[in-house]
Structure 1
Amino acid sequence: MLLGSGPRAGFAELILPANEPGSSIMPGKVNPTQAEALAMVCCRVIGNHTTVTLANGLGTLELNAYKPVIIYSLLQSVSLLAGAASSFAEHMVEGVEADRERIAELLDRSLMPVTALNPHIGYDKAAEIAKLAVQRNLSLREAAIASGHVTEEQFRQWIDLEGMTREV
Protein backbone atom coordinates (compact mmCIF):
# COMPACT_ATOMS: atom_id res chain seq x y z
CA MET A 1 0.00 0.00 0.00
CA LEU A 2 2.76 2.40 0.97
CA LEU A 3 4.77 1.83 -2.22
CA GLY A 4 1.69 2.77 -4.22
CA SER A 5 1.19 6.09 -2.43
CA GLY A 6 1.08 8.99 -4.79
CA PRO A 7 0.41 9.84 -7.59
CA ARG A 8 2.97 12.68 -7.43
CA ALA A 9 4.19 12.45 -3.86
CA GLY A 10 4.97 9.65 -1.46
CA PHE A 11 6.83 6.60 -2.62
CA ALA A 12 4.81 6.14 -5.84
CA GLU A 13 6.95 3.16 -6.88
CA LEU A 14 3.94 1.06 -7.85
CA ILE A 15 1.15 1.83 -10.28
CA LEU A 16 -1.96 0.28 -8.77
CA PRO A 17 -4.87 -0.91 -10.89
CA ALA A 18 -7.91 1.36 -10.63
CA ASN A 19 -10.65 -1.06 -9.60
CA GLU A 20 -13.21 1.59 -8.71
CA PRO A 21 -13.61 5.36 -8.85
CA GLY A 22 -10.77 7.21 -7.14
CA SER A 23 -10.59 8.94 -3.81
CA SER A 24 -13.59 11.01 -2.72
CA ILE A 25 -11.29 13.75 -1.42
CA MET A 26 -8.44 13.58 -3.96
CA PRO A 27 -9.39 13.28 -7.62
CA GLY A 28 -6.94 11.19 -9.65
CA LYS A 29 -5.75 9.12 -6.71
CA VAL A 30 -6.10 5.34 -6.91
CA ASN A 31 -7.04 3.84 -3.57
CA PRO A 32 -5.31 0.57 -2.62
CA THR A 33 -8.64 -1.05 -1.75
CA GLN A 34 -7.60 -4.59 -2.62
CA ALA A 35 -4.54 -4.40 -0.36
CA GLU A 36 -6.63 -2.83 2.41
CA ALA A 37 -9.28 -5.53 2.08
CA LEU A 38 -6.65 -8.26 2.28
CA ALA A 39 -5.16 -6.60 5.38
CA MET A 40 -8.61 -6.55 7.00
CA VAL A 41 -9.09 -10.23 6.27
CA CYS A 42 -5.70 -10.92 7.84
CA CYS A 43 -6.80 -9.04 10.98
CA ARG A 44 -9.92 -11.21 11.15
CA VAL A 45 -7.83 -14.38 10.69
CA ILE A 46 -5.48 -13.28 13.48
CA GLY A 47 -8.54 -12.82 15.70
CA ASN A 48 -9.78 -16.27 14.76
CA HIS A 49 -6.35 -17.70 15.53
CA THR A 50 -6.50 -16.14 18.98
CA THR A 51 -9.94 -17.68 19.48
CA VAL A 52 -8.64 -21.11 18.43
CA THR A 53 -5.64 -20.79 20.74
CA LEU A 54 -7.73 -19.78 23.77
CA ALA A 55 -10.45 -22.34 23.10
CA ASN A 56 -7.89 -25.09 22.67
CA GLY A 57 -6.27 -24.13 25.97
CA LEU A 58 -9.60 -24.36 27.78
CA GLY A 59 -9.98 -28.02 26.96
CA THR A 60 -9.45 -30.33 29.92
CA LEU A 61 -7.83 -33.72 29.73
CA GLU A 62 -9.21 -35.42 26.62
CA LEU A 63 -12.40 -33.39 26.52
CA ASN A 64 -12.73 -30.04 24.84
CA ALA A 65 -16.19 -28.51 24.90
CA TYR A 66 -14.89 -25.64 22.78
CA LYS A 67 -14.44 -27.66 19.59
CA PRO A 68 -17.40 -25.94 17.86
CA VAL A 69 -15.83 -22.47 18.19
CA ILE A 70 -12.44 -23.90 17.16
CA ILE A 71 -13.88 -25.48 14.02
CA TYR A 72 -16.04 -22.44 13.20
CA SER A 73 -13.09 -20.06 13.54
CA LEU A 74 -10.79 -22.29 11.51
CA LEU A 75 -13.29 -22.77 8.68
CA GLN A 76 -14.11 -19.07 8.63
CA SER A 77 -10.40 -18.24 8.32
CA VAL A 78 -9.92 -20.70 5.47
CA SER A 79 -12.95 -19.30 3.64
CA LEU A 80 -11.90 -15.67 4.17
CA LEU A 81 -8.32 -16.30 3.07
CA ALA A 82 -9.39 -18.23 -0.03
CA GLY A 83 -11.72 -15.47 -1.18
CA ALA A 84 -9.34 -12.66 -0.33
CA ALA A 85 -6.36 -14.32 -2.01
CA SER A 86 -8.37 -14.94 -5.16
CA SER A 87 -9.67 -11.36 -5.28
CA PHE A 88 -6.23 -9.91 -4.51
CA ALA A 89 -4.61 -11.97 -7.26
CA GLU A 90 -7.23 -11.01 -9.84
CA HIS A 91 -7.73 -7.34 -9.00
CA MET A 92 -4.32 -6.31 -7.66
CA VAL A 93 -1.43 -8.64 -8.48
CA GLU A 94 -2.41 -9.08 -12.13
CA GLY A 95 -2.68 -5.32 -12.68
CA VAL A 96 0.04 -3.83 -10.49
CA GLU A 97 3.08 -2.42 -12.28
CA ALA A 98 6.40 -1.04 -11.17
CA ASP A 99 6.71 2.64 -12.04
CA ARG A 100 10.12 2.20 -13.64
CA GLU A 101 10.53 5.91 -14.39
CA ARG A 102 9.87 6.87 -10.75
CA ILE A 103 12.11 4.08 -9.45
CA ALA A 104 14.93 5.18 -11.79
CA GLU A 105 14.51 8.76 -10.56
CA LEU A 106 14.65 7.68 -6.90
CA LEU A 107 17.62 5.44 -7.58
CA ASP A 108 19.47 8.22 -9.35
CA ARG A 109 18.86 10.55 -6.38
CA SER A 110 19.72 7.95 -3.73
CA LEU A 111 22.83 8.37 -1.63
CA MET A 112 22.97 4.72 -0.55
CA PRO A 113 25.34 3.61 -3.34
CA VAL A 114 28.01 5.93 -1.92
CA THR A 115 29.08 3.02 0.29
CA ALA A 116 30.36 1.27 -2.85
CA LEU A 117 32.97 4.03 -3.14
CA ASN A 118 34.46 3.29 0.30
CA PRO A 119 36.84 0.53 -0.87
CA HIS A 120 38.12 2.76 -3.67
CA ILE A 121 38.44 6.24 -2.13
CA GLY A 122 37.91 5.67 1.59
CA TYR A 123 35.14 6.53 4.00
CA ASP A 124 36.02 10.21 4.49
CA LYS A 125 36.00 11.07 0.78
CA ALA A 126 32.82 9.05 0.23
CA ALA A 127 31.15 10.92 3.11
CA GLU A 128 32.32 14.21 1.60
CA ILE A 129 30.66 13.25 -1.69
CA ALA A 130 27.38 12.38 0.05
CA LYS A 131 27.39 15.71 1.93
CA LEU A 132 28.11 17.59 -1.30
CA ALA A 133 25.17 15.86 -3.00
CA VAL A 134 22.85 16.92 -0.18
CA GLN A 135 24.16 20.49 0.07
CA ARG A 136 23.98 21.19 -3.67
CA ASN A 137 20.98 18.94 -4.45
CA LEU A 138 23.08 16.86 -6.87
CA SER A 139 22.84 13.23 -7.86
CA LEU A 140 25.52 11.01 -6.38
CA ARG A 141 27.23 10.81 -9.77
CA GLU A 142 27.24 14.58 -10.18
CA ALA A 143 28.61 15.10 -6.66
CA ALA A 144 31.30 12.43 -7.05
CA ILE A 145 32.61 13.98 -10.26
CA ALA A 146 32.31 17.55 -8.89
CA SER A 147 34.33 16.55 -5.82
CA GLY A 148 37.30 15.60 -7.97
CA HIS A 149 37.73 12.32 -6.09
CA VAL A 150 36.16 10.22 -8.85
CA THR A 151 36.14 10.40 -12.64
CA GLU A 152 33.03 9.61 -14.63
CA GLU A 153 34.60 6.36 -15.85
CA GLN A 154 35.51 5.30 -12.28
CA PHE A 155 31.99 6.11 -11.11
CA ARG A 156 30.50 3.94 -13.86
CA GLN A 157 32.81 1.06 -12.92
CA TRP A 158 32.37 1.28 -9.16
CA ILE A 159 28.69 2.26 -8.95
CA ASP A 160 26.79 -0.18 -11.13
CA LEU A 161 23.19 0.60 -10.16
CA GLU A 162 21.84 -1.80 -12.77
CA GLY A 163 23.94 -4.62 -11.35
CA MET A 164 23.09 -3.72 -7.76
CA THR A 165 19.34 -3.80 -8.40
CA ARG A 166 18.80 -6.42 -11.09
CA GLU A 167 16.50 -9.36 -10.58
CA VAL A 168 18.18 -12.44 -9.19
Structure 2
Amino acid sequence: FGASADFGSKVAQILASELGLPFISAENKFAALAGHEAITIAHAALKTLACTLIKIANDLRWLASGPRSGLGELTLPENEPGSSMMPGKVNPTQCEAIVMLSLQVLANDVAISSAATAGNFELNVTKLLTAHAYLQSLRLLSDGITSFTRYCITGMVANELRMTELVKSSLMLVTALVPHIGYDKAAAIAKAAHAENRSLREAAIASGYVSAFQFDSWIQPVSMTHPS
Protein backbone atom coordinates (compact mmCIF):
# COMPACT_ATOMS: atom_id res chain seq x y z
CA PHE A 1 0.00 0.00 0.00
CA GLY A 2 2.66 2.48 -1.02
CA ALA A 3 5.10 1.69 1.81
CA SER A 4 8.65 0.42 1.48
CA ALA A 5 9.24 -3.32 1.68
CA ASP A 6 10.88 -3.08 5.10
CA PHE A 7 8.24 -0.77 6.62
CA GLY A 8 6.54 -3.52 8.63
CA SER A 9 9.72 -4.95 10.11
CA LYS A 10 11.00 -1.48 11.07
CA VAL A 11 7.75 -0.57 12.82
CA ALA A 12 7.81 -3.91 14.64
CA GLN A 13 11.36 -3.24 15.83
CA ILE A 14 10.43 0.21 17.12
CA LEU A 15 7.36 -1.12 18.95
CA ALA A 16 9.38 -3.95 20.47
CA SER A 17 12.05 -1.52 21.64
CA GLU A 18 9.59 1.00 23.11
CA LEU A 19 7.23 -1.47 24.77
CA GLY A 20 9.62 -4.29 25.63
CA LEU A 21 7.41 -6.84 23.88
CA PRO A 22 8.34 -9.23 21.04
CA PHE A 23 6.62 -7.52 18.09
CA ILE A 24 7.26 -9.03 14.67
CA SER A 25 5.99 -8.28 11.20
CA ALA A 26 3.71 -10.90 9.66
CA GLU A 27 5.36 -13.00 6.96
CA ASN A 28 2.22 -13.09 4.85
CA LYS A 29 0.77 -9.58 4.83
CA PHE A 30 -2.29 -10.60 2.84
CA ALA A 31 -3.22 -13.31 5.34
CA ALA A 32 -2.70 -10.87 8.21
CA LEU A 33 -4.99 -8.32 6.58
CA ALA A 34 -7.75 -10.80 5.82
CA GLY A 35 -7.58 -12.99 8.91
CA HIS A 36 -7.95 -12.11 12.59
CA GLU A 37 -6.89 -15.47 14.01
CA ALA A 38 -4.37 -14.10 16.50
CA ILE A 39 -6.71 -11.65 18.21
CA THR A 40 -9.52 -14.22 18.12
CA ILE A 41 -7.32 -16.71 19.97
CA ALA A 42 -6.14 -14.03 22.40
CA HIS A 43 -9.68 -12.96 23.22
CA ALA A 44 -10.66 -16.58 23.82
CA ALA A 45 -8.40 -16.44 26.89
CA LEU A 46 -10.31 -13.37 28.12
CA LYS A 47 -13.59 -15.19 27.48
CA THR A 48 -12.38 -18.14 29.56
CA LEU A 49 -11.43 -15.79 32.39
CA ALA A 50 -14.88 -14.19 32.19
CA CYS A 51 -16.54 -17.62 32.44
CA THR A 52 -14.51 -18.38 35.55
CA LEU A 53 -15.37 -15.03 37.13
CA ILE A 54 -19.09 -15.61 36.59
CA LYS A 55 -18.84 -18.98 38.32
CA ILE A 56 -16.90 -17.49 41.26
CA ALA A 57 -19.28 -14.53 41.64
CA ASN A 58 -22.37 -16.75 41.54
CA ASP A 59 -20.89 -19.15 44.09
CA LEU A 60 -20.10 -16.27 46.44
CA ARG A 61 -23.51 -14.62 46.26
CA TRP A 62 -25.32 -17.91 46.78
CA LEU A 63 -23.07 -18.81 49.71
CA ALA A 64 -23.80 -15.34 51.14
CA SER A 65 -27.56 -15.63 50.66
CA GLY A 66 -29.61 -15.06 53.77
CA PRO A 67 -29.20 -14.01 56.44
CA ARG A 68 -31.79 -16.51 57.70
CA SER A 69 -33.48 -18.22 54.78
CA GLY A 70 -30.40 -18.77 52.63
CA LEU A 71 -27.10 -20.58 52.97
CA GLY A 72 -25.42 -17.77 54.91
CA GLU A 73 -21.99 -19.39 54.91
CA LEU A 74 -20.33 -16.14 53.87
CA THR A 75 -20.85 -12.51 54.82
CA LEU A 76 -20.09 -10.01 52.08
CA PRO A 77 -19.04 -6.41 52.78
CA GLU A 78 -21.80 -3.80 53.03
CA ASN A 79 -20.47 -1.31 50.49
CA GLU A 80 -23.64 0.74 50.11
CA PRO A 81 -27.18 1.04 51.52
CA GLY A 82 -29.22 -2.08 50.88
CA SER A 83 -32.46 -2.63 49.04
CA SER A 84 -34.95 0.25 48.88
CA MET A 85 -37.77 -2.30 49.11
CA MET A 86 -36.37 -4.43 51.93
CA PRO A 87 -34.66 -2.43 54.70
CA GLY A 88 -31.55 -4.11 56.05
CA LYS A 89 -31.03 -6.29 52.99
CA VAL A 90 -27.44 -6.38 51.71
CA ASN A 91 -27.19 -6.77 47.95
CA PRO A 92 -24.17 -8.61 46.46
CA THR A 93 -23.48 -5.67 44.17
CA GLN A 94 -19.84 -6.50 43.45
CA CYS A 95 -20.80 -10.04 42.45
CA GLU A 96 -23.55 -8.67 40.23
CA ALA A 97 -21.15 -6.19 38.64
CA ILE A 98 -18.53 -8.83 37.85
CA VAL A 99 -21.22 -11.04 36.30
CA MET A 100 -22.49 -8.21 34.09
CA LEU A 101 -19.09 -7.14 32.82
CA SER A 102 -18.13 -10.77 32.23
CA LEU A 103 -21.28 -11.24 30.15
CA GLN A 104 -20.19 -8.25 28.09
CA VAL A 105 -16.84 -9.95 27.53
CA LEU A 106 -18.68 -13.06 26.32
CA ALA A 107 -20.66 -10.84 23.95
CA ASN A 108 -17.44 -9.25 22.73
CA ASP A 109 -16.08 -12.72 22.02
CA VAL A 110 -19.06 -13.43 19.79
CA ALA A 111 -18.46 -10.13 18.00
CA ILE A 112 -14.75 -10.84 17.51
CA SER A 113 -15.39 -14.40 16.34
CA SER A 114 -18.01 -13.17 13.88
CA ALA A 115 -15.69 -10.42 12.67
CA ALA A 116 -12.96 -13.00 12.08
CA THR A 117 -15.20 -14.67 9.50
CA ALA A 118 -15.69 -11.44 7.55
CA GLY A 119 -12.38 -11.51 5.68
CA ASN A 120 -13.00 -11.55 1.94
CA PHE A 121 -10.02 -12.36 -0.26
CA GLU A 122 -7.17 -10.07 0.93
CA LEU A 123 -9.03 -7.74 3.31
CA ASN A 124 -11.15 -7.80 6.46
CA VAL A 125 -12.79 -4.44 7.09
CA THR A 126 -14.03 -5.34 10.60
CA LYS A 127 -10.66 -4.72 12.24
CA LEU A 128 -11.93 -1.60 14.04
CA LEU A 129 -14.77 -3.56 15.64
CA THR A 130 -12.34 -6.29 16.65
CA ALA A 131 -9.88 -3.87 18.22
CA HIS A 132 -12.64 -1.98 20.06
CA ALA A 133 -14.17 -5.16 21.48
CA TYR A 134 -10.81 -6.55 22.55
CA LEU A 135 -9.70 -3.35 24.29
CA GLN A 136 -13.08 -3.02 25.98
CA SER A 137 -12.80 -6.56 27.35
CA LEU A 138 -9.32 -5.84 28.68
CA ARG A 139 -10.51 -2.69 30.42
CA LEU A 140 -13.64 -4.31 31.85
CA LEU A 141 -11.77 -7.29 33.26
CA SER A 142 -8.90 -5.23 34.63
CA ASP A 143 -11.11 -2.66 36.35
CA GLY A 144 -13.69 -5.26 37.38
CA ILE A 145 -11.22 -7.65 39.02
CA THR A 146 -9.56 -4.76 40.87
CA SER A 147 -12.91 -3.56 42.23
CA PHE A 148 -14.10 -7.10 42.99
CA THR A 149 -10.95 -7.82 44.96
CA ARG A 150 -11.01 -4.54 46.88
CA TYR A 151 -14.70 -4.30 47.71
CA CYS A 152 -15.74 -7.96 47.94
CA ILE A 153 -12.98 -10.52 48.35
CA THR A 154 -10.88 -8.54 50.84
CA GLY A 155 -13.76 -7.90 53.25
CA MET A 156 -15.50 -11.25 52.90
CA VAL A 157 -15.92 -13.22 56.13
CA ALA A 158 -16.69 -16.92 56.62
CA ASN A 159 -19.57 -17.64 59.00
CA GLU A 160 -18.04 -20.57 60.86
CA LEU A 161 -21.02 -21.10 63.17
CA ARG A 162 -23.42 -21.35 60.24
CA MET A 163 -21.08 -23.63 58.30
CA THR A 164 -20.70 -25.92 61.30
CA GLU A 165 -24.48 -26.00 61.73
CA LEU A 166 -25.05 -26.98 58.11
CA VAL A 167 -22.36 -29.66 58.18
CA LYS A 168 -23.76 -31.23 61.34
CA SER A 169 -27.29 -31.26 59.93
CA SER A 170 -26.28 -32.65 56.53
CA LEU A 171 -27.75 -36.06 55.78
CA MET A 172 -24.93 -36.78 53.36
CA LEU A 173 -22.60 -37.44 56.28
CA VAL A 174 -24.19 -40.86 56.19
CA THR A 175 -21.79 -41.81 53.38
CA ALA A 176 -19.14 -42.34 56.06
CA LEU A 177 -21.24 -45.20 57.45
CA VAL A 178 -21.38 -47.12 54.16
CA PRO A 179 -18.01 -48.91 54.58
CA HIS A 180 -19.13 -50.12 58.02
CA ILE A 181 -22.83 -51.03 57.67
CA GLY A 182 -23.39 -51.11 53.91
CA TYR A 183 -25.25 -48.89 51.47
CA ASP A 184 -28.82 -50.10 52.15
CA LYS A 185 -28.67 -49.59 55.91
CA ALA A 186 -26.98 -46.21 55.53
CA ALA A 187 -29.68 -45.12 53.06
CA ALA A 188 -32.40 -46.25 55.45
CA ILE A 189 -30.88 -44.13 58.23
CA ALA A 190 -30.74 -41.03 56.01
CA LYS A 191 -34.34 -41.50 54.85
CA ALA A 192 -35.55 -41.99 58.41
CA ALA A 193 -33.75 -38.87 59.61
CA HIS A 194 -35.35 -36.84 56.84
CA ALA A 195 -38.85 -38.29 57.24
CA GLU A 196 -38.87 -37.93 61.03
CA ASN A 197 -37.08 -34.56 61.09
CA ARG A 198 -34.36 -35.96 63.32
CA SER A 199 -30.63 -35.53 63.30
CA LEU A 200 -28.61 -38.15 61.47
CA ARG A 201 -27.04 -39.19 64.77
CA GLU A 202 -30.41 -39.73 66.42
CA ALA A 203 -31.74 -41.75 63.49
CA ALA A 204 -28.58 -43.85 63.27
CA ILE A 205 -28.63 -44.78 66.95
CA ALA A 206 -32.38 -45.46 66.85
CA SER A 207 -31.89 -47.83 63.92
CA GLY A 208 -29.75 -50.12 66.03
CA TYR A 209 -27.21 -50.42 63.23
CA VAL A 210 -24.60 -48.32 65.03
CA SER A 211 -23.87 -47.24 68.58
CA ALA A 212 -23.31 -43.66 69.69
CA PHE A 213 -19.60 -44.38 70.03
CA GLN A 214 -19.39 -45.86 66.55
CA PHE A 215 -21.27 -42.93 65.00
CA ASP A 216 -19.02 -40.35 66.64
CA SER A 217 -15.94 -42.31 65.59
CA TRP A 218 -16.95 -42.84 61.99
CA ILE A 219 -18.63 -39.49 61.25
CA GLN A 220 -15.72 -37.07 61.06
CA PRO A 221 -16.51 -34.24 58.60
CA VAL A 222 -12.95 -32.91 58.60
CA SER A 223 -11.58 -36.32 57.67
CA MET A 224 -14.22 -36.68 54.97
CA THR A 225 -13.21 -33.40 53.32
CA HIS A 226 -9.49 -34.11 53.69
CA PRO A 227 -9.16 -37.84 52.95
CA SER A 228 -5.78 -39.42 53.50
Q: Is 1:104 matched up with 2:147?
A: no
Letter in 2 for 1:104: T
Cα drift, residue 166 of structure 1: 5.1
Cα drift, residue 62 of structure 1: 3.7
Q: Do 2:98 and 2:145's aligned partners in 1 also have CA atoms closer than 8 Å?
A: yes
1:21-46 alpha-carbon deviations (Å, 9 max, x no partner): 11112222210000000000011111
Q: Is 1:157 matched up with 2:217?
A: yes
Aligned to 2:90: 30
Aligned to 2:120: 60
- The 2-side partners of 1:10 and 1:23 are apart by 17
Please point out which of 186, 189, 193 is paired with 1:133.
Answer: 193
Question: Is the deviation greater in 3-12 or in 36-45?
Answer: 3-12
Please point out which of 91, 108, 112 is paired with 2:151.
Answer: 91
Identity, % of aligned positions: 51
TM-score between both structures, scaled by the size of structure 1: 0.93
Cα drift, residue 124 of structure 1: 2.0
- The 2-side partners of 1:159 and 1:43 are apart by 42
**After the TM superposition, which parts of structure 1 deviate over 4 Å for at least 4 consecutive aligned residues?**
none
Aligned to 1:5: 65
Q: Is 1:74 matched up with 2:134?
A: yes
Aligned to 2:182: 122
Cα drift, residue 135 of structure 1: 2.3
Letter in 1 for 2:100: M
Letter in 2 for 1:17: P
Structure 2 unaligned regions, length at least 5: 1-60
TM-score between both structures, scaled by the size of structure 2: 0.70
Backbone CA RMSD of aligned residues? 1.7
Letter in 1 for 2:65: S
Structure 1 unaligned regions, length at least 5: none
1:17-75 alpha-carbon deviations (Å, 9 max, x no partner): 10001111222221000000000001111111111000111012342111111001000
Letter in 1 for 2:69: A
